[in-house]
Amino acid sequence: MTSGNILSGIPTGNDRGEFFDELLARPGLCIERIVSTGQSTPPGEWYDAPTGEWVMLVAGAARLLVEGEEQARTLKIGDWIDLPARCRHRVEWTLPGQQTVWLAVHYGESDVTF
């Protein structure tokens, strides 16, 4: 058995870039904490994962653009979105100099490696 607090143990300072911390991994499932401090997806690039991703904003703020939508979605604390496999999306903005904490649940077929 393991336990913890999603807001503890976060690296300080924004010189580390974006931080990914795997909290739990099982066949077909990976739960991770992502900490952004002003990062965004590079221009022209899209996330296009072979698995689904359910993501919730735990702290901070962000804007997420889903391909085909006219405007980026503004996410605030507590907002979540379920992105099916192959749903192209990108992070347009996160709070600069402050921590934006995401809880990401990646799910898919049991033979998918995260």
Write the pLDDT tens digit of every residue in 48-77.
999 999 999 999 999 999 999 999 999 999
CATH number of the domain bearing residue 28: 2.60.120.10
Whether residue 2 is contained in a domain is answered as: no
The pLDDT, as a whole number, for residue 111 is 58
- Identify which of 55, 44, 59 has the alpha carbon closest to the alpha carbon of residue 92: 44
- Band the pLDDT of 32: cuts 50, 70, 90: very high
| pTM above threshold 0.85 | yes
Total domain count, the chain: 1
Q: In percent, how much of the chain has pLDDT > 90?
A: 82
Whether residue 102 is contained in a domain is answered as: yes
Span 11-35, mean pLDDT? 87
- Band the pLDDT of 103: cuts 50, 70, 90: very high
pLDDT at 112 over 90: no
- Identify which of 96, 110, 113, 94 has the alpha carbon closest to the alpha carbon of residue 34: 94
C-beta of residue 29 within 8 angstroms of C-beta of residue 105: yes
The whole-angstrom separation of Cα 23 and Cα 40 is 22
Whether residue 112 is contained in a domain is answered as: no
Whether residue 10 is contained in a domain is answered as: no
- Identify which of 19, 56, 54, 55 has the alpha carbon closest to the alpha carbon of residue 37: 19
Span 23-46, mean pLDDT? 95
Residues of the domain holding 87: 19-107
The whole-angstrom separation of Cα 22 and Cα 50 is 18
The pLDDT, as a whole number, for residue 12 is 74
**What is the DSSP secondary structure assignment for residue 41, as one 8-state letter?**
P
The pLDDT, as a whole number, for residue 113 is 57
